[in-house]
Amino acid sequence: MALPEQDAATVADYPEVEDNSNEKKRQLKNKIFKGIFFGAVLFSLLMLLILLVRIFTQGIGFLNWEFMTSFASRNADEAGIQAAIVGTFWMMVVTAPVAFVLGVGTAVYLEEYAPTNKFTALIQMNISNLAGVPSIVFGLLGLTIFVRELSMGRSVLAGGLTMALLILPIIVVASQEAIRSVPSEMREASFGMGATKWQTMFRIIFPAALPGILTGNILALSRAIGETAPLIMIGALTYIAFLPDNVFSQFTVMPIQIFNWTSRPQEEFHFIAAAGIIVLLAMLLLMNSIAVWIRNKFQQRF
Amino acid sequence: MQSEKKRDTMLQTEDNRSTNQVKKETSNVYKVDKLNLWYGKDQALKDITLDIPEKTVTAIIGPSGCGKSTFIKTLNRLTEMVPIVKTSGEVYYRDNNIFNKKFSVEKLRTKVGMVFQKPNPFPKSIYENVVYGPRIHGIKDKKVLDEIVERSLKDAALWDEVKDRLKENAFGLSGGQQQRLCIARCLAIEPDVLLMDEPTSALDPISTLKIEELVQELKKKYSIIIVTHNMQQAGRISDRTAFFLNGEVVEYDDTSNIFSSPQDQRTEDYVSGRFG
């Protein structure tokens, strides 16, 4: 705080130092831009805070064990989210392994095996584009292929596979980045000892890239948990009074259940929707925390 | 085995008499015949023709960008990791054409180990680093692996420093120790040739000295080809020296000749420090 005074004193002591007016202008500009950027951060934080406060004040009263273990109901007092929670888990059981195997497999091929030619570049470009395709389009794809063409019906399997397709581009890109971050010296060292490509991949590259790959997968899955549009498209139900017991069961998931409650006219349903959102947010926060924890704990520094 | 030991001792006594003289009757590990190499359109190696004798230290010297690293990486075909590389000419490793499809690249690299410019241990324990080679070649017996670890680390003059912490991560070692670990990792699969690509350029003088002493020890058992841009180092540790300039071999002779009476003016300019 004493610094500006000191500066002034220095200028006074050495009059030959010119008072450059441009200097002040630049300092001011510097401060203004800092203010703008901080304001941008503040705005989004404020919005998040308002959202959280609103949801918590509305929903916390309805959040209890009965809510967690009841089925949906016409009566707001008896309505619960159990079927949606279990439905979400079932969907993840299908989505996670399918998306992991296909996504990581694609990433490994593109990074380690694919020749550098125009065809590879085309695939690469389209994967990046796929990440930007609206989720409802994936819903349409799932409806056409899985529900109708492969006659899976409105099942967990059809929904899970659709979600797997939706998050595939995210997983591919994240896994590619993780694989690329393993230094080429590791490859050289392994190849230099007579290891085959597969041995190098399996024993060196993959273990080193795994934390990054897992982080990408978990973040992609948490996106899948929050998605609603594609599942509405393939016709996941909004009212079921039973738990799915295999991959061919009909099902519902949390965001669909929440959407359904908020679209009802009675105000009580809006409160239990808020309670549902709290459960969903808690789940997403948990998954993202796990992702961050894995990244911090296992990421190798080369 | 017996005769090999005998020859080792013969070599040793010979070494004692005159360090930098090569026995004329030793056979060659490498025969390079008119090797050319291009990165895309840029030619990095031009008509390289030379023979590399076994159980000697051959130094490759030359200014930056003269193709010395490219040359040594061609000897175990690591240059092929760069997709735009094209080669012509022949390289024979003990009479096997290394570019011949019947002689697999994995087999070549099993016989020809490599130590790199920057120490590059795997992000695993010291023990796991050393057994990596034997494991990929199918050795599973714990007892055998333990023996290999002890022998390799002893041969790389690292055993006494790490024997109590074999399970610790290799990244915890100092740079010089990491480089000796990389040498131990190569020795674990008992190669025939050791390629060293400026192995001391990232190390401090004391670690450099240790590696140089190690090289003198290792040449009793292995043929060593070492790239260095440190001429004093080449003079200290090598028996034969090849001087590379702009992708060509300017001169290749006994190290003592290269440094005392070079035939080519460019060699003389380089070794006397006038350029490079």
3-class secondary structure per residue, A92-134: HHHHHHHHHHHHHHHHHHHHHHCCCCHHHHHHHHHHHHHCCCC
Residue A275 reports pLDDT greater than 50: yes
Mean pLDDT of chain A: 84
State what percent of residues in chain B have pLDDT above 70. Answer: 90
Q: Tell the CATH topology of A75-298.
A: MetI-like fold (1.10.3720)
**Which chain A residues are within 8 Å of B78, Cβ to Cβ?**
188, 191-192
- Domain coordinates of chain A in residue numbers? 22-62, 75-298
Per mean pLDDT, which range of A66-80, B135-149, B246-260 is the poorest?
A66-80
Query: Quick check: A282 and A274 in contact, CB under 8 A?
Result: no
* Contact residues, chain B, for A302 at CB < 8 Å: 123
Contact A192 B118 (CB under 8 A): no
pLDDT, position A19: 67
Mean pLDDT for all residues in chain B: 86
Q: Does the CB of B109 have a partner CB in chain A at under 8 Å? A: yes
According to DSSP, residue B243 is labeled E
More confident of the two residues B163 and A70: B163
* Mean pLDDT of the region A231-245: 75
Which positions in chain B touch A115 (Cβ < 8 Å)? 83
Q: What pLDDT is attached to residue B17?
A: 42
Calpha distance A92→A157 (Å, rounded): 10
Lowest mean pLDDT among A97-101, B80-84, B193-197: B80-84
Residue B4 reports pLDDT greater than 70: no
Distance of CA B176 to the CA centre of its chain: 17
Find out whether A261 and A79 touch, Cβ atoms under 8 Å. yes
* First-last CA distance in chain B: 44
Average the pLDDT over each of A15-19, A229-233, A245-249, B211-215 and give the range with the smallest value. A15-19
Chain A hits for B120, CB-CB cut-off 8 Å, are 183, 185-186, 188-189
pLDDT-based confidence at A76, cuts 50/70/90? low
The pLDDT of B194-204, averaged and rounded, is: 89
Question: Can you tell me the mean pLDDT for A137-151?
Answer: 85
The answer to whether the Cβ–Cβ distance between A193 and B185 falls below 8 Å is yes
Backbone phi, then psi, for A265, in 5-degree steps? -70, -35
> Does B18 score more than 60 pLDDT?
no
Question: In this predicted structure, what is the pLDDT of residue B25?
Answer: 52
Q: Tell which CATH architecture fits domain B22-271.
A: 3-Layer(aba) Sandwich (3.40)
Q: For B25-53, what is each residue's pLDDT tens digit? A: 568 889 999 999 999 889 999 999 999 99
| ipTM (interface pTM) | 0.83
Q: Is A265 on the interface with B (CB under 8 A)?
A: no
Q: Over the stretch A85-132, which tens digit does the pLDDT of each residue have?
A: 888 888 888 999 999 999 999 999 998 888 888 899 999 999 988 888
| The pair of three-digit structure tokens given for residue B51, joined into one six-digit string | 């023979």
- A202, A165, A173: which is closest to A104 by C-alpha? A173
pLDDT of residue B7: 46
Lowest mean pLDDT among A100-114, A242-256, B104-118, B184-198: A242-256
**Residue pair B126/B162 in contact by the 8 Å Cβ criterion:** yes
The Cα of B133 is separated from the nearest Cα of chain A by a number of Å equal to: 6
Dist. CA B29–CA B6, nearest whole Å: 20
In this complex, is the C-beta atom of B80 within 8 Å of any C-beta atom belonging to chain A? no
Put simply, the answer to whether B81 touches A184 (Cβ < 8 Å) is: yes
Q: Which member of A116, A199, A300 has the closest CB to residue B136?
A: A199
The two three-digit tokens of residue A288, written as one number: 């993202």
Query: Is the Cα dihedral A225, A181, B188, B111 positive or negative?
Result: positive
- The residues spanned by each domain of chain B are 22-271
Q: What pLDDT score was predicted for residue A6? A: 52
Interface contact flag, A184 B106, Cβ < 8 Å? no
Residues of A in Cβ contact (< 8 Å) with B108: 194
Q: Is the pLDDT of residue A3 over 70?
A: no
Residue A225 has pLDDT above 90, yes or no: no
Orientation of helix B126-136 relative to helix B175-187, angle to 10°: 20
Low-confidence winner among A104-113, A136-145, A263-272 (lowest mean pLDDT)? A263-272
Test A192 with B137 for CB contact under 8 angstroms.
no
- Inspect the interface and report whether the beta carbons of B110 and A194 lie closer than 8 Å: yes
Q: What is the 3-state secondary structure (H, E, C) of chain A?
A: CCHHHHHHHHHHHCCCCCCCHHHHHHHHHHHHHHHHHHHHHHHHHHHHHHHHHHHHHHHHHHCCHHHHHCCCCCCCCCCCCHHHHHHHHHHHHHHHHHHHHHHHHHHHHHHHHCCCCHHHHHHHHHHHHHCCCCHHHHHHHHHHHHHHHCCCCCEHHHHHHHHHHHHHHHHHHHHHHHHHCCCHHHHHHHHCCCCCHHHHHHHHHHHHHHHHHHHHHHHHHHHHHHCCHHHHHHCCCCCCCCCCCCCCCECCCHHHHHHHHHCCCCHHHHHHHHHHHHHHHHHHHHHHHHHHHHHHHHCCCC
Q: In terms of residues, how long is chain B? A: 276
List of residues 6+ apart from B198 with CB closer than 8 A = B69, B117, B227, B228, B229
Q: Are B136 and A191 inside 8 Å of each other by CB?
A: no
Instruction: Give the CA dihedral B251, B257, B260, B266, nearest 10 degrees.
Output: -10
pLDDT-based confidence at B57, cuts 50/70/90? very high
Contact B106 A300 (CB under 8 A): no
Q: How confident is the model at residue B59 (pLDDT cuts 50, 70, 90)?
A: very high
Contact status of B118 with chain A (Cβ, < 8 Å): yes
Interface list for B 155-184 with A (CB within 8 A): 171, 182
**Residue B20 pLDDT class (50, 70, 90 cuts):** very low
Report the residue of B115, B120, B130, B185 to disrupt the A interface, i.e. the one with the largest count of A CBs within 10 Å: B120
Over residues B190-212, the mean pLDDT reads: 90
Angstroms from A200 CA to nearest CA on chain B: 9
Higher pLDDT pick, A12 / A37: A37
Would you state the pLDDT for residue B11? 44
Asked if A203 and B132 come within 8 Å (Cβ–Cβ), the reply is: yes
- pLDDT band per the 50, 70, 90 thresholds, residue A167: very high
pLDDT of the residue at A153 = 75
- Is the CB of residue B7 less than 8 Å away from at least one CB of chain A? no
- Please state, in angstroms and as integers, the Cα–Cα distance from residue B208 to each residue in B151, B240, B242, following that order: 22, 20, 21
pLDDT more than 70, % of chain A: 91
pLDDT surpassing 60 at residue B82? yes
- Cα–Cα distance, A72 to B176 (Å, whole number): 67
- Residue B149, pLDDT > 70, answer yes
pLDDT band, residue B14 (cuts 50/70/90): very low
Burial of B253 (0-12, 13-18, 19+ CB in 10 A): middle
pLDDT of residue B5 exceeding 80: no
Mean pLDDT of A277-287: 89
How far apart are alpha carbons B178 and B120 in whole angstroms?
7
The pLDDT of residue B26 is 62
